[in-house]
């Protein structure tokens, strides 16, 4: 194998682990499966990582950041509040249907973290990040649209997060897009009822 800095190999291993997880699930992402995906000999693994858990930690935080980034990108800037909410939800959902595996893995990682001693904090950070993104976007809308929310923003954020996560999970199982989008419309309209013109 051509010589490569340990740092670079770490990144490639993380990317390989990412692919394996999306394709086959978290439990199947063994050290051997990962180095095989990266086309590296097994010995490389523990030269770059102290343990498999260290890799998993890294992957989980990247997934979390990735989700947050995707959510932020889904947030539309143009049009009136109604159009923006509708578009944002639609864009989020397109992402789900486009890459179901990635979303599936985020759930698996959460449950893995909840059961792994010393990993609970990572799961907590994951959901803290989710909620924070929703809060930020809700608050941003407040300023740019000249409205205020008639319900506490943390509650609204949790509501949105719950619906989106629950809906995604259900779709991952039964793939019923039509009803799912119906729910999305329901929630979008519902959200608008909490927006009140300022003054």
Partner DNA sequence: CAGCGTCTTGGACGGTCGACCAACACCTGA
Partner DNA sequence: TCAGGTGTTGGTCGACCGTCCAAGACGCTG
CB-based contact 57:122 (threshold 8 Å): yes
Q: What's the rounded Cα separation, in Å, for the pair 119 and 53?
A: 9
Output 6 or 192, the one with its CB closest to DNA: 6
Footprint (CB under 7 A) of DNA, residues 13-42: 28, 30-33, 40-42
| Among its own copies, DNA, none, partner that 79 touches (CB below 5 to 8 angstroms by kind) | none
Nearer to its own copies, 10 or 139 (CB): 139
| 187 sits near its own copies (criterion: CB under 8 A) | yes
Q: What's the angle, vertex CA 165, arms to CA 178 and CA 75, rounded to 5?
A: 85
Residue 70 found at the interface with DNA (CB under 7 A): no
Using CA atoms, how far residue 11 sits from 5, 15, 33, 48, 59, in Å, is 10, 6, 16, 10, 10
Residue 146's binding partner out of its own copies, DNA, none, with CB under 5 to 8 Å set by partner kind: none
SS3 32: helix
Give the binding site for DNA (CB under 7 A).
Answer: 1-7, 9, 28, 30-33, 40-47, 50-53
């Amino acid at each position: 194998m051509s010589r490569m800095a340990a740092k670079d190999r770490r990144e490639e291993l993380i990317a390989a682990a990412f692919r394996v997880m999306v394709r086959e699930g978290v439990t199947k992402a063994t050290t051997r499966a990962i180095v095989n995906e990266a086309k590296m000999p097994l010995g490389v693994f523990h030269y770059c990582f102290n343990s498999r858990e260290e890799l998993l930690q890294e992957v989980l935080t990247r997934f979390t950041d990735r989700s947050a980034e995707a959510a932020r990108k889904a947030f539309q800037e143009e049009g009136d509040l109604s159009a923006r909410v509708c578009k944002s939800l639609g864009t989020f959902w397109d992402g789900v249907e486009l890459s179901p595996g990635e979303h599936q893995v985020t759930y698996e990682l959460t449950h893995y973290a909840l059961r792994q001693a010393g990993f609970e904090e990572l799961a907590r950070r994951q959901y803290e990040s989710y909620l924070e993104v929703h809060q930020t976007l809700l608050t941003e809308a407040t300023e740019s649209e000249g409205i205020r929310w008639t319900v506490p923003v943390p509650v609204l954020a949790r509501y949105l997060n719950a619906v989106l996560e629950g809906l995604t999970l259900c779709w991952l199982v039964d793939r019923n897009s039509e009803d799912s989008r119906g729910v999305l419309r329901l929630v979008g309209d519902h959200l608008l009822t909490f927006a009140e013109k300022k003054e």
